[in-house]
Structure formats: C-alpha cells, structure tokens
Structure 1
C-alpha cells in the first residue's frame, strides 16, 4: 500500500509493559468509528502492516494495542513515534453536511489584502493545527487553517477568503 491510498490516524507514543503493547495517540476525530484489524505504520517511507491481536480505546484520544508478531517490548519499541495509517476504504462515511479542512484541497484561496493567492494544493494536519499549501507566484506558501485566519468559505464556488497575518507572504517571497 502507498501513503496516497491511506489516511492518517495518529502515532504511537510509547510502549506499555513487557509484552509489546503500544499506546496510539489519535489525531483522527472519530477514531471510535474506525476498524482496527490492521494498521499501517510509516517505517522510513514504507507502509508496513501490523495485524491487531487486541485493542482498547480510551476517551482521551488514545488506545492500547497488541499486535500479532509483536510479543516483546523491544520489538514494539521500534514503532514508537511512527505515524499510523488506515486504508482509504476504511474511512468512515460522512454525512453531506460534514465538512473538514481536508475538503478545502482544490479550493481557490484569496487574501483580503493580497487578492487571489491560488489553488490549495494540499492540506496537512499537524499537531495543534491544519496547514494549507498554495502555489503563489511560483512559490509554495503555507498558512494555518483556523477561525482567526479564515474569513469565509464558499463550498459551492469552491473558494476560501482568508486574512493572512501581516508579513507572512514576505517570509516566502524574499
């Protein structure tokens, strides 16, 4: 499986006990709805499958997992801090009225001060925030997607109006 065929779920934070149990921190909102029979860890750019023997989910966006063939803490330690993915076909169905920042990919971004910036070519989720990437004047620029920056989203016209912090574009263009 390739990374493009998967969606990001979270990352392994630590091992627990001596039998290879791993704690997974979820950065996916509806993690309770996911199917965990197999998880894919990004191991140096390769998506490596790990088959779940058992798991327990907690309300603090974490879960504890035992995997087949990981029967010792030393084997599990190699997965700590690795990003975890699931295949796209395991993504829960969303209602028509559910809109996420990832849906902004392909939208045309405009700034209140600088006018049209260009098409959002990528939306990435980082701890604490989402970041949009736009090709502006042949240079990739990035800006956070949050209530302080976003002025308006028109999902029918596929446009987003933002109010970028003063000097942000200068960082990329100088």
Structure 2
C-alpha cells in the first residue's frame, strides 16, 4: 500500500476579495449601490451622500464595500446619469465588474472615495456626515437626530428621528436651517407650525 501523499493547496481556489490598504479615516462615502443595471456590470448608484453627483466624473477611483474597513478598489470606467422620481441616479461602470453576476455581488454596498481625490476643504461636509447629529431649535429644544438625507427634485430633505421615535422631514433650505454647528455636531432649525410633524 503506497504511503499517503501530502495534500497541496488548490491554486485555482478563489482567494477572495483583495481589500484595499487605505485608512478608513481617509474615506468618504459618496454613494450607495442600489442594484445592477443591465448585463454588462454597470451599477445603479444613489449619490445622495454627496452634494454633487458630477463628482463621479472627476474621480479616477472609488472603493466599494460594506464599510470603510473592508473595501475593494476599482477604477471608474464610465459615468452617466438617469433621472428618476427620487432625483438623479448615477449609472457607474467599474473596472473589474464586467457582468451582472459581478454587479450582483456588490449590490447594497457603499461607494467611497478618498478625501484627497475629492479635493475637500478642511471644513467641507457631505450630507452623509450629518447623520446622527442632533437637531435643536433656536431655544435649544431637542427635536431629534438626523437619520437620513434625501435628495429630491424640488428640494433636499433631512429625515429626523424624533424623541417619540417618529420621522419628520425638514427641507434643507435657509428658511428652515439656521446653523450647522460642526464642533457640536448639531443642526439648529427654525420651528414652523407642522415642521416636525411626522
């Protein structure tokens, strides 16, 4: 009976994703992948995390993953836009994502870019940065916390989770937003009848 032979690793096995070596603190969320678009690997992106969807046109590279600590780098191959009832959707083509199966694998993940690539100023904020901030009136009465930011055709909206665990919408315009206090991480709003009604 021949002696057993040692098993060798299967070089053909999928090594898994090649996570990017980039500090999470250097990354800024710029979008969310809704789902695949078509059969050639294009992705439908919600760009509401950025103030300007056209930023995708100047980015050479993005990072895709469930959170900033586990992202894969992709060069941008193509950018185009689609108008929807919710606003503008970005149709993004990425190197390395070439068919619908590849696109399905990254659906529901976030899209990040580095602060350097975005050319952000030290005091520049993205809408996504405001999630979790406290919303107060001029008198200091707490109205809730920012739960989401929605980019709408007529006007952008802050979604606020109230202390009663309901949601209220605040238009992101000067008539309602008095101050965005980055140091205190709070937004001061002008109370108007019905403003904080769910």
Report if TM-score (shorter chain) is over 0.5: yes
Q: Distance in 2 between matches of 1:108 and 1:89?
A: 30
1:11 equivalenced with 2:32 (yes/no): yes
Of Structure 1 and Structure 2, the greater strand share is in 1
Does the residue aligned with 1:89 lie in a helix, a strand or coil?
helix
| Match for residue 130 of structure 1 among 123, 135, 158 | 158
User: Which residue among 79, 83, 94 is the counterpart of 2:110?
Assistant: 83
Q: Residue 130 of structure 1: SS of its match in structure 2? A: strand
Alignment partner, residue 141 of structure 2 = 117
1:163 corresponds to: 191
Q: Superposed, which structure 2 residues align to 1:1-174 within 5 Å?
A: 1=22, 4-27=25-48, 28-34=50-56, 35-43=58-66, 46-52=69-75, 54-58=77-81, 60=83, 61=88, 62-68=90-96, 70-93=97-120, 109-110=136-137, 115-117=139-141, 124-126=148-150, 129-131=157-159, 144-146=169-171, 151=176, 153-154=178-179, 160-163=188-191
Q: Which runs of 5+ in 1 are unaligned?
A: none
Aligned residues: 160
Cα RMSD for the two superposed structures? 4.6
Max Rg structure:
2
- Could you report, residue by residue, the CA deviation over 1:32-53 in whole angstroms, capped at 9, with x for unpaired residues? 1343322122326644123125
